[in-house]
Structure 1
Amino acid sequence: MTRAADSHSLASVELGFALACGTLLATGVTLSVLTAAPAWLPHALYILACGFGGVFTLRGAFQALRAGRLDIDTLMLIAAVGAAVLGAWAEAALLLFLFTLGHALEHYAMGRARRAIAALTALAPLTAEVRRGDTTAEVPVEDLVLRDIIIIRPNTRIPADGFVVHGSSSVDQAPITGESVPIDKRAVDDFSRASQRPDGVAAEHRVFAGTINGHGVLEVMVTRMAQDSTLARLVRMVNEAEAHKSQTQRFTERFERGFVPVVLGIVGLLLFAWVVVDESFAASFYRAMAVLVGASPCALAISTPSAVLSGVARAARGGVLIKGGGPLEILGGIGAIAFDKTGTLTEGRPRVTDARPAPGGDAAEFLAVAIAVESLSDHPLAAAVVRDGRAMLPPGAVPLVADDLQSITGRGLSARIGDDPVFVGKAALFGEIDGPPLATPVLRMIADLEQDGRTTMVVRRGDRVLGVIGLMDTPRPTAAAVIARLRGLGIARMVMLSGDNPRVAGAVAGQVGLDEAWGDLMPADKVAAIGLLRAGHRVAMVGDGVNDAPALAVADIGIAMGAAGSDVALETADIALMGDDLGRLPFAIGLSRQTGRIIHQNLWISLGMVAVLVPSAMLGLPLGVAVFLHEGSTVAVVANALRLLGYREAA
């Protein structure tokens, strides 16, 4: 049974006990006021009502005392026992009825937020149609193994993460990525390459457990076990987010731990008010119990966690994973955002626009060498060189095979073809490795391409420079609109951080509406850039969660793009946009700010009620009224927090 189901079941039982308590109390009052029933009968009903109403209160108080602390259940139990000692069994029953009812409604409301998360788990089907050899069979999802081929029929849910090996269809990914329209999926072009590096498969081939297939039949290779699917990890991490508390939540918990003993101390003093005030001990005791009820911070204790849980649940339903109250609270207060370029502000699908052989060079050898080396890499630029380079190869060109690939961070790649060392990378790489410097004609080619906003790669085999490749990555169609929406939210400073040369970075930044673009940055330089931005603002870093991991880690908030299916993105970032959709960022910021507003409203309601009830109780407010107002404030803050489940981004 899931935690959400447990919570729902417990809340139902508690609600049943509360209603039994209320029914017995109401019956006793009716018999006492409207009939001539003997006095012992309503009195017995009040005692029985206290029994039903006190079960969960006693349970909570006992658990707290075993843990060595005093909490709100302890205060309420003391107040009820005190009223009973005075012979006010009806008021004791009323206190326990409203307190238990408030607790049950609180647990029910919190359970509703948890069920909004746990409902995702039910999206994945329990069985899958798998092809093994020449036969197909229906097997439990737990029995699937990596590299199984499963068949996805039209209009059915996909049972496991994987990539399409045959067929095409559109898939509704809203449960995972929050995308509002179905996404077209098709089979991979190179099955062997995809099966060797499944994490590098493009989004148009990848599918996730729990998403809904359209009208086509798909055959999918399983790449994750059921317990490791993106859906399972999403549910698990959102549930774990409750343990990561916000600053406000930590404050209220510290306040509650200190406040409860203070309340008990004040109540202890009030018990002896009859010594200095002309009243009976019973009157002093009654007043002390009313103060005890009014001062108990029930609403305060639930005000922040209910809002945080509702906010995290709403974000998950919208395709945004927020890892707890801390990131949720901080996000709304950021003043600057740093964006990675490739795959964040741009499509992440660059294309080769130019392939210029060096003077006197062989175009076929130049392209064949570049393709051989880049086919070993899973970088988006490498995929573009392989894809577009093959289309540019002259007819009859002989393919080459490279091995011993090594990545030179931020600069390029090295490999071997036969006995020849091969280097493919930025012009700066060739000033750092052994060999002759780049010739003037090659430098001129590089300058011309970069002037046109191209990213350049130089290809060298042995000591011979074979040519220069120019690539361009186009901005996302929605990037400019997202930047404008972020400006409308009041984000003061937005900067693009890129490993490309400043001219390329500046060209892209201008197209999407950014004022600043910092180019030629190594991963360590991006970390330093975040440090500079943090001097005046809280900073969020938005990247792909792989090569941007250091910058994501040092920013106040790290936000990973396209995190569905990416282990690194989910583990590194504080917030993950599960779909490859930058448009989810303004939604997340708006949700964070709304959560902050609701938390502050709840704090005012809860603390304000305590501030009103304590002096009122000391001046003679009846215990029943104190109980009613006190529990009413608890229900009010929970209901206010649940509004976040229906949050909609302003148009």
Structure 2
Amino acid sequence: MKKLQIKIPLLLPEIPDERDQCVQKLMEFLRYKEGIEEVHIVEEKENSVPQLCFHYDPEIISIDRIQSLTGQTGAEITQKIGHKLVEVDGIRHTRHARHIERDLRDMDGIMEASVSASGMVRVEFEKTKVDETDIVKVLRKEGLGILDARVSAERFLQRAGRTKDAEENATMDKKEHDHEEGESHDHSHGGIFGKNTELIFSIICGVLLGIGFGLSFIESVSSWISLSLYVGACFFGGYFTAKEAIQTVAKGGFEIDFLMLVAAIGAAILGEWAEGALLLFLFSMGHALEHYAMNKARKSIAALADLAPKTALLKKNGKIKEVNIEELNIGDIIVVRPNSKISADGVVVDGESSVNQAPITGESVSVDKEPIENPAKDWSQEEDVKDENRVFSGTINGNNTLEIKVIKEAKDSTLSRLVELVNEAQTQKSPTQRFTDKFEQYFVPSVLALVVLLNFTFLVIDETFSESFYRAMAVLVAASPCALAISTPSAVLSGVARAAKSGVLIKGGRPLEDLGVLTALAFDKTGTLTEGKPKLTQVITLSNVSEEELLKIAVAVENLSDHPLAKAVVRDGKERLNGAQVPDAKNLEAVLGKGIKASLGNKKVYIGNLELFVSLDEKKPEEDTKEKIKSLESDGNTTMLIRQNDEYIGIIALMDTPRKEAKNTLDKLKKIGIKRMIMLTGDNQNVANKVAREIGITDAWGSLLPEEKVESIKELKEKESKVAMVGDGVNDAPAMANSTVGIAMGAAGSDVALETADIALMADKLETLPFAIGLSRKAKSIIKQNLWVSLGIVVILIPSTILGWANIGLAVLIHEGSTLVVVFNALRLLAYKK
């Protein structure tokens, strides 16, 4: 395992000492995340700031991901480490991507580099040692075009949306294409025929080879004409192969292109010009078709950009004006006409309509939208906006006009974040891909050693040197691991693209593969398996206080809290009070997992579960009160006992009902092989058991504090090896960070959920989960099929060529055929059905 160690100054808001409990919580939070080996504070300080030392595997987790996770604990890591995503043009195939990756990693100051054949380059670097412009220069030296030197979703969307308009594409904004001051860049990186140069050269090679082969049967035509055509075919077929081989050898490496070139030259030396030309034709055509197939998957991701509207109708001072979406500010009011795209994330302030949210959330049924209750309020910082009031950029309005208040700028919209994260996901390698990369590092030198030995078989057996040399060249072709190199990246790219189309964000190959082998799922209860909207079911008085007075006290105190149960008490309590005046409470103090305390007038009010009062003081609730609470909880209620000073004055009961789709979804999960489904909840065990029985959950673990949920996940990982945690990505962040795969539901509109989760279900729909797992299993299956095909062909071809059963022509035909088979097999994921 490749490991890196990095020390980073840690800034913890309002925390003077690194021994503070919050620092320990941060370290505990990160320590069990997959890919992080160790987290600890080191003695030396930088500018009097504590140093946090990470030992991590950059192939599994990136610094950017660590920074996102750290943010969930309220800490900030200083920006000592740069994170850069660059979109390039000119990467011809997976092996070429690996060359670039190695060159970047060789730079001083580069901590990690990952390059996708799709054209995305991710680099993490120490800012004190390397500059962003240095990275761009290295990429240019590789012959790549820089489409975007600093990928932001905003520019990606702008550019991708323009590609349909050739004229506009030719006069793109200079700012977007000048990658260094005063320097613009040509984007036709393919050669004299642009991006299709390799394909056209391959076709020319095939035509010359065909004509030369045909003329060789005509006796009246001189043999040198056919030979000239073969030489021409070798030039066109071998141009890009030779170019890449020379670049690789110059850096001390050996790759498939070098092996093919040596084999072709060897055939020519033996006088087999036609065979050498055939080899280069099939190899170059295979490359070109591989590039075409991978482009198909890339276009599925780029299609996300087509969702983005370019302009919006801004309503200002009673007038409507068309503006670019980049000009919109938070708080602006935009008008969305019937059957048109919504231009920004926002809340509906006027009008009612049905909105097609499928482009973002994957939902097949349109969602009804209505105006929000308080249009004047600043909703930009609110996470808890009802679905019927919230709209997303890129979704499609129905038959009525809507007026929308903008709550996010274009660069921060849900669509922008989705595009940015999908682009980055392309650079995240899966475990299988890392394995095949390492396998090739040892395999290619072994092949070269075998070929060298085979050149001397004429000394052992009765044959000429030419025959031994020819056999060695045939083995060289047979052993080239082209199909192996592309087998996993093509499947991962297709899987990520297919998932995004249905509103599922999968952040790279690791979660895509891991999800497919899971047998256990842990669920948060509230808002995941249940509606997340508990309702006030009973109000029981215990003294001479009236029900109305009890409700006023409860509403006054709970109004200070933002807990979902508190909000339910306030909402339903006010409804029962029917407009009656509620006093103001103050001095709220929360007791984690147990309840709250507050002052109401000159009295102290306590509201919480029985555990709160057990540890509070000697004034314990009576046995009769305890029995009433147990009876309510056995019926599935969550209870709150209320005490005023030393007197217990009442009990409030709430119930959170299971989602309608929960039982059916869990049944589907069982059918596809999920053996254990565990519900984790802070509610008491009786409530947990009742919900579990109702929806068919296999294990229900109740009365858990947030840190106990983390311990539960660790315990499950020991027993089940791999465990996914399904939650909202906000309150469940620690548990999700410690799971094998963190899955956030309802991630659309929630930056925290998008950052925290390995897999984000954009819609708040539990029924999307079987699709995500099914797609992952299909991807895993296709990756396995591709590995069997690619390795199987090599295993069959090597002995066949050694024994002389297959010549160079047949070997290259089967070799390139297997490459195309694995690529097109991977593309089947794009057609995966729910």
Shorter-chain TM-score range? over 0.9
Structure 1 stretch displaced more, 24-33 or 538-547: 24-33
Contact 1:120 1:235 in 2 (8 A): yes
Per the alignment, residue 573 of structure 1 pairs with 757
State the number of aligned residues. 648
Following superposition of structure 1 onto structure 2, how do residues 405-424 of structure 1 map, counting pairs within 5 Å? 405=588, 407-415=590-598, 422-424=605-607
In 1, Cα distance between the equivalents of 2:742 and 2:687?
25
Per the alignment, residue 637 of structure 1 pairs with 822
Following superposition of structure 1 onto structure 2, how do residues 431-510 of structure 1 map, counting pairs within 5 Å? 431-433=614-616, 436-438=619-621, 443=626, 445-460=628-643, 467-510=650-693
Contact 1:341 1:498 in 2 (8 A): yes
Contact 2:380 2:407 in 1 (8 A): no
Q: Deviations over 1:86-137 (max 9, x none)?
A: 3333222211111111111112212211221221121010111122343322
Does 2:807 match 1:622?
yes
In 2, Cα distance between the equivalents of 1:406 and 1:140?
47
**1:596 aligned to which of 780, 796, 812:** 780
In 2, Cα distance between the equivalents of 1:35 and 1:126?
65
In 2, Cα distance between the equivalents of 1:412 and 1:165?
36
Does 2:538 match 1:340?
no
Does 2:75 match 1:75?
no
Q: What amino acid sits opposite 1:349 in the alignment?
A: K
Distance 1:332 1:427, change over 3 A: same
Per the alignment, residue 325 of structure 2 pairs with 141
In 2, Cα distance between the equivalents of 1:452 and 1:193?
39
Distance 1:409 1:248, change over 3 A: same
Following superposition of structure 1 onto structure 2, how do residues 329-408 of structure 1 map, counting pairs within 5 Å? 329-395=513-579, 397-402=580-585, 405=588, 407-408=590-591
Q: What amino acid sits opposite 1:248 in the alignment?
A: T
Q: What amino acid sits opposite 2:660 in the alignment?
A: P
Q: Deviations over 1:428-481 (max 9, x none)?
A: 233444695445665455334323321123445666655432211111111101
Q: What amino acid sits opposite 2:823 in the alignment?
A: V
Following superposition of structure 1 onto structure 2, how do residues 9-88 of structure 1 map, counting pairs within 5 Å? 12-34=196-218, 36-65=220-249, 68-88=252-272
Unaligned runs of 5+ in 2: 1-85, 92-117, 120-187
In 1, Cα distance between the equivalents of 2:803 and 2:201?
33
Structure 1 stretch displaced more, 353-362 or 574-583: 353-362
Q: Please report how far the alpha carbon of residue 33 of structure 1 lies from its aligned counterpart in structure 2 after TM superposition.
A: 2.6
In 2, Cα distance between the equivalents of 1:84 and 1:381?
80
Contact 2:331 2:378 in 1 (8 A): no
**1:511 aligned to which of 666, 691, 694:** 694
Structure 1 stretch displaced more, 57-66 or 256-265: 57-66
Per the alignment, residue 526 of structure 1 pairs with 709
Provide the secondary structure at the position in 2 that maps to 1:30: helix
Distance 1:220 1:355, change over 3 A: farther
Provide the secondary structure at the position in 2 that maps to 1:508: helix
Following superposition of structure 1 onto structure 2, how do residues 214-233 of structure 1 map, counting pairs within 5 Å? 214-233=398-417
Q: For the aligned residues, what is the CA RMSD?
A: 2.6
Contact 1:435 1:463 in 2 (8 A): no
Provide the secondary structure at the position in 1 that maps to 2:383: helix
Distance 1:560 1:536, change over 3 A: same
Distance 1:33 1:143, change over 3 A: farther
In 2, Cα distance between the equivalents of 1:406 and 1:16?
73
In 2, Cα distance between the equivalents of 1:555 and 1:407?
28
Q: Please report how far the alpha carbon of residue 161 of structure 1 lies from its aligned counterpart in structure 2 after TM superposition.
A: 1.5
Provide the secondary structure at the position in 2 that maps to 1:221: strand
Q: Please report how far the alpha carbon of residue 344 of structure 1 lies from its aligned counterpart in structure 2 after TM superposition.
A: 0.7
In 1, Cα distance between the equivalents of 2:362 and 2:788?
33
Contact 1:200 1:378 in 2 (8 A): no
Provide the secondary structure at the position in 1 that maps to 2:334: strand
Per the alignment, residue 183 of structure 2 pairs with none
In 1, Cα distance between the equivalents of 2:338 and 2:512?
38
Q: Deviations over 1:23-58 (max 9, x none)?
A: 222222223334733333332222222222222213
Structure 1 stretch displaced more, 483-492 or 374-383: 374-383
**1:127 aligned to which of 311, 323, 342:** 311
Provide the secondary structure at the position in 1 that maps to 2:697: coil
Provide the secondary structure at the position in 1 that maps to 2:263: helix
Per the alignment, residue 213 of structure 1 pairs with 397
Does 2:367 match 1:183?
yes
**1:271 aligned to which of 443, 455, 472:** 455
Per the alignment, residue 719 of structure 2 pairs with 536
**1:155 aligned to which of 316, 324, 339:** 339
Structure 1 stretch displaced more, 508-517 or 534-543: 534-543
Per the alignment, residue 291 of structure 1 pairs with 475
Distance 1:96 1:447, change over 3 A: same
Per the alignment, residue 500 of structure 2 pairs with 316
Distance 1:188 1:429, change over 3 A: farther
In 2, Cα distance between the equivalents of 1:346 and 1:104?
51
Highest relative contact order (Cα 8 Å, sep 6+), 1 or 2? 1
Q: Deviations over 1:321-357 (max 9, x none)?
A: 2222211212122222221111111111222222344
In 2, Cα distance between the equivalents of 1:407 and 1:563?
27
Contact 1:563 1:570 in 2 (8 A): yes
Q: What amino acid sits opposite 1:105 in the alignment?
A: L
Provide the secondary structure at the position in 2 that maps to 1:559: strand
Q: What amino acid sits opposite 1:635 in the alignment?
A: L
Distance 1:269 1:474, change over 3 A: same
Structure 1 stretch displaced more, 436-445 or 182-191: 436-445
Contact 1:230 1:564 in 2 (8 A): yes
Does 2:432 match 1:253?
no
Q: What amino acid sits opposite 1:249 in the alignment?
A: Q
Contact 2:353 2:401 in 1 (8 A): yes
Q: Deviations over 1:352-390 (max 9, x none)?
A: 222344422254454344434444544432332232222
Provide the secondary structure at the position in 1 that maps to 2:825: helix
In 1, Cα distance between the equivalents of 2:562 and 2:807?
72
In 2, Cα distance between the equivalents of 1:114 and 1:187?
38
Q: Percent identity?
A: 55
In 2, Cα distance between the equivalents of 1:400 and 1:121?
52
Distance 1:224 1:98, change over 3 A: same
Q: Please report how far the alpha carbon of residue 196 of structure 1 lies from its aligned counterpart in structure 2 after TM superposition.
A: 6.4
Q: What amino acid sits opposite 2:767 in the alignment?
A: G
Does 2:719 match 1:545?
no
Contact 1:364 1:394 in 2 (8 A): no
Distance 1:36 1:361, change over 3 A: farther
Provide the secondary structure at the position in 2 that maps to 1:594: helix
Provide the secondary structure at the position in 2 that maps to 1:159: coil
Structure 1 stretch displaced more, 428-437 or 196-205: 428-437
In 1, Cα distance between the equivalents of 2:88 and 2:498?
18
Contact 1:402 1:418 in 2 (8 A): yes
Q: Please report how far the alpha carbon of residue 632 of structure 1 lies from its aligned counterpart in structure 2 after TM superposition.
A: 0.5
Q: Deviations over 1:566-609 (max 9, x none)?
A: 22222222222111111111112222222222111111111111
Unaligned runs of 5+ in 1: none
Provide the secondary structure at the position in 2 that maps to 1:536: helix
In 2, Cα distance between the equivalents of 1:424 and 1:229?
39
In 1, Cα distance between the equivalents of 2:454 and 2:782?
35
- Structure ranking higher in helix proportion: 1
In 2, Cα distance between the equivalents of 1:415 and 1:37?
103
Provide the secondary structure at the position in 2 that maps to 1:474: coil
Task: State TM-score, norm by structure 1.
Answer: 0.93
